[in-house]
Amino acid sequence: MSVETGIQLPAPSLRIGAQVILQGDTTHEHIDPATGKVNGLVPMASTEQIDQAVLSARAAFLEWRALPASQRSRKLMKLAELMEQNTELLAAAGMADNGAPRITAGNMVGAAVEWTRYYAGWADKLPLGRITSNGGAGGSFGHTLRQPYGVIGAIITWNAPLMSLAMKVPAALAAGNTVVIKPSELTPFTPTVFADLAREAGIPDGVINIVPGGPQAGAALVEHRLVKKITFTGGPATAQIIAASCAKTFKPMILELGGKSANLVFEDADLDKAAGHAAFFAFGMMSGQACALPTRLLVQESVYEQFIEKVAQAAAQFPIGDPAGEYTMCGPVINQAAIDRIDSMLGDALEEGGRLVTGGQRLGGDLAEGFYYPPTIVADVEPDGSLAQNEVFGPVLAVIPFRDEAHALDIANGTDYGLSGYIWTSDLGRGLRLAESMETGEIAVNGAFNATAERPFGGIGHSGIGNEGGLEGLEEFFWTKSVGIATH
C-alpha cells in the first residue's frame, strides 16, 4: 500500500524462516487512524504457524550462536546502516501503522538506529566467561559461561513498534539468541519493513521471524516449550496473563509495562522551560500514547494556576492533523476504542471534581473521520482519583497541587506504577534527594533525556520486570553456567 508520502510499503505478511506468507488463520483489517479507512489486510498467525516459526528459530539458533561474535556484530551494524539509509521508508511505515506524525516517526527511526548500533557494538566485546576459582580437593579450577537462551519470544505493542523492535531484537541477537516476534495486528507495516532490512543485512533466515496475531497467537508463543524467554511490551492486564503462563514452566520474562509518571514542578523552577516540556511530553509525544510520559503534573501551590496557564498556552501551539504534514505535532490516537476509553475516563474525572481547563472532546471538521483528540488538561485532580491512578494512554494531563517537597514525594509515590519520574527545580540538592526517593525505574531532572541506548530502562511495581537498554539490557539475554574441571 502507499501513504500520502508516495512511498510504497510492502504488504503485511508472516515471515517464517525464508517464507513470506500472505495468508494466516484469519485476516485483520488495518484501519488508518488518521482517516478511519481500511489501510490493508493483515494475516493473523495460526497456532500451527506459531509452532513453525519457533521451530525455524530453533534451527537457526544452532547456526547463529556458533557464528563468531564479530560476524554477528557486523551483520547488526549493517542492519543499523540500512535502517538509517531507509529512514523515509521506516517513517512512512510508522505513519501508516499508527498515525505517528512525520516528525515523530523520523525521530523514532534515528533512535532505533542508535539502539541497533549500540548492541551491535557490544556483540563482540562482552566477556563470555571468567575464571572463578583455583585449587580445591584433588586439584581443580572453575569458570563461568554466559550462554544465550535460544529462542526468545518477543511480543511488541502498537504505540512504537520500531522502538520496541530496536529495544529487544538487537540485544537478543547480539547475545546469540534468535527471535519470534509477535507484533500487534494494529501496526503491521513496520515489522514487515524491519524484516526485509534484516534479510538484506545478511541476517540468516530464521533468526528473525514475524508472526502478527491476537491473544491466541500470543498464548501459543508464550506456552511453546522451545521458547526459552519472553520479552513483552504492553499493558499490565496482558502481562498478568503472560506471567501466569510463564510461571507454569518457570520461564523467565522481561515485562515493559505502563506508567503514571509524576512530573514535579517546584516554585523555584524555570517555569517557562518546564511548561514547554510538560506540554510536549504529555501531548506532542505520540499524542500521549507512551508508557513513560509525565501524565501526572504535580505543581507547587504558589505557582499552580500560573503554571497550568503556561502549559495550556504551550499545548495550544501544537499543530494537530495529517501525520504526513510537515509541521504536524499531534496525530490521532490509535482507534475508536481509544476515543471511547478517553471519553469514559475523562467523564469519571470530572464527576470526581476535576476541572476541565482545555480540550475534552473529539475533534470534528476536517478531522472527523480520523481518531483525533485534542490536548486535554484536567486540574484539581485528587491524588487518589481515577485519573491520577490509572493510565489513560491518550493526550490527557492530570494536574495536582502540592504544598512542599514531602507532600510532592508522597503523591508521586502514591500509585501502583513505577516507570519514570520528572523533577523541575533550581535546587539540585532537592533534585538529587527526590531522584533517590521517588520509586521509579528512571528519573529526569530539569529536562534531562533518559531514553538512550546506553542507559537501562525498566520499572517496578505495575510498570514491569527487567530492563531494556544498557549493559543490563544485554545481560537479560544470557544465562550463566558454572563449570568445574579436575586438573588430575
> Which residues are catalytic, by number?
256
Residues 429 and 410 sit within 8 Å (Cβ to Cβ): no
Distance CA 201, CA 405 (A): 52
Residues 384 and 414 sit within 8 Å (Cβ to Cβ): yes
Element of type H or E holding 216: helix 215-223
Identity of the amino acid at 444:
A
Element of type H or E holding 94: helix 87-98
Residues 414 and 383 sit within 8 Å (Cβ to Cβ): yes
Q: 76 Cβ partners below 8 Å, 6+ apart?
A: 116, 117, 119, 120, 123, 170, 173, 174, 201, 203
CA-based nearest residue to 75, from 60, 59, 89: 60
**Pairing label, strands 151-155, 178-182:** parallel
Q: 303 Cβ partners below 8 Å, 6+ apart?
A: 265, 267, 271
Instruction: Give φ, ψ of 186 to 5 degrees.
Output: -75, -20
